[in-house]
Structure 1
């Protein structure tokens, strides 16, 4: 990585040793902060390294925390964006590895909602969560399924029982994805725009979980017949909503 200036600290990725940090000089403060965040100096390589086996997410959070501390001290920091790329998910022999990509943070997407005015824009954000390859819902289902397989691998009665429980949770996550798809489709055809005098979203109190009202059939029907940029007004809507199957369809994650 060639930089137009020399930063006080630079974070990068070593092909075999993981995340590394290099410093501009031997100032004690640089060494102190890096050691505080579990980096250790390698005299042979003249760089700081995290302990072997540090999980990817832990490494990313560590770099972010150290960077904030350096910047709060008025120091300049550079970081290789490849630090954000997670390693591929292990697979069985003769099965192509699943290449992972850095997904959008749910926190960042929630922040985006505060700036949006149109229903269709909210639908676009929700679609990112539901993306077949990089969406948070599919990632969560795959994570729970993998946790279930880990428990089953213990080959004990309690492990098999917990594995089955986690498989059930993964099934519920898939059902949650189906419900969110319904909501995303409803939002995409709603012509509603937030009034200019509406209070900021942060000022609207969130209902308690057990008080969240269900979406009525009338509301769904009204959204279905409404026109939007994505659905011309002259398209005829179905006179009645078709009953939804209670059986969860197979997850798209199974076919990647």
Structure 2
């Protein structure tokens, strides 16, 4: 195997200018692919740049798609991992800033479940989306609240009505987080391991979205009372530490 020391294309962050791409030579194909993904050549800097107002997620997707096209053509690509780091979210004075980390992929976490056998390991994966500072559930709740605030700034009846509806949805998301936390805690104390002869997870049928299975407390109680050799813990004390207070009453949506 021959290692190529210099890549054909390198993506990075240019100070004050955003995402940039540098090419090894002036092959037309390199220019064609970059321009197709909205990069434009700068004579002054001798690099390709995305427009300065390109949103972070859009920039990440454009870099990923261009990289994939180069890889599929047998070219080598290098990328600065800082491209994946999202910018901080503006906050009001006195409010703690939410630390920025590369976004979690629910698709990747879902795929990870297919290789797990122990209940405690599934609990660990579920805990990642429930993390107070970096979890997907908290991020979704913050996103919806921010969208509601944006609608309120319109200062119109429709804007205020939609903001109220969005804040109601945020309450539902907070409630969902509480329910997932309970499920995560139950998984954490279950000593169960997937049988060797169990079907692959991909072959287990999913319920249709409109079907809501009835849930009894029998399995939950059994799991809570079972001691786990993998993760011994005091469930009652842990619940007290992690479960949030009940959500505020949900306001009914206004009608036009």
Superposition TM-score, scaled by structure 2 size: 0.88
Alpha-carbon distance, 1:196 to partner: 0.5
- Tell me whether 1:162 sits opposite 2:165 in the alignment: no
Secondary structure, counterpart of 2:227 in structure 1: coil
Write the mapping of 1:78-97 to structure 2, written as runs, cut at 5 A: 78-93=78-93, 95=95, 97=97
Secondary structure, counterpart of 1:48 in structure 2: strand
- Partners of 1:95 and 1:122 in 2: how far apart? 33
- Tell me whether 1:140 sits opposite 2:140 in the alignment: yes
Q: Give unmatched runs, 5+ long, in structure 2.
A: 238-242, 249-256
Q: Which residue of 2 aligns with 1:51?
A: 51
Instruction: Give the RMSD, CA atoms, in angstroms.
Output: 2.1
Q: Which residue of 2 aligns with 1:252?
A: none
Q: Which residue of 2 aligns with 1:61?
A: 61
- Tell me whether 1:28 sits opposite 2:28 in the alignment: yes
Alpha-carbon distance, 1:248 to partner: 1.4
Secondary structure, counterpart of 1:109 in structure 2: helix
**C-alpha spacing 1:9/1:128, structure 2 compared with 1 (3 Å):** same
**C-alpha spacing 1:156/1:93, structure 2 compared with 1 (3 Å):** same
- Partners of 2:45 and 2:96 in 1: how far apart? 34
- Partners of 2:98 and 2:235 in 1: how far apart? 41
Superposition TM-score, scaled by structure 1 size: 0.88
CA contact (8 A) 1:225 1:237 kept: no
Alignment length, in residue pairs?
239
CA contact (8 A) 2:178 2:244 kept: no
Q: Which residue of 2 aligns with 1:241?
A: none
Q: Give unmatched runs, 5+ long, in structure 1.
A: 239-243, 250-256
CA contact (8 A) 2:185 2:235 kept: no
